[in-house]
Amino acid sequence: MDASTISTERLADVQSQASLITFRKALDFEQAMAQQLLEALPPVPRANPTETIGRTIDDFA
Kindly tell me if the per-residue pLDDT of 23 is higher than 80: yes
Whole-prediction pTM value?
Answer: 0.55
What are the residue boundaries of the structural domains of the chain, listed by start? Answer: 3-60
- 30/40 Cα distance (integer angstroms): 15
Contact yes or no for 26/18 (Cβ under 8 A): no
* pLDDT class of 56 with cuts at 50, 70, 90: low
Kindly tell me if the per-residue pLDDT of 52 is higher than 80: no
- 14/6 Cα distance (integer angstroms): 12
- Which amino acid appears at position 53 of this protein? I
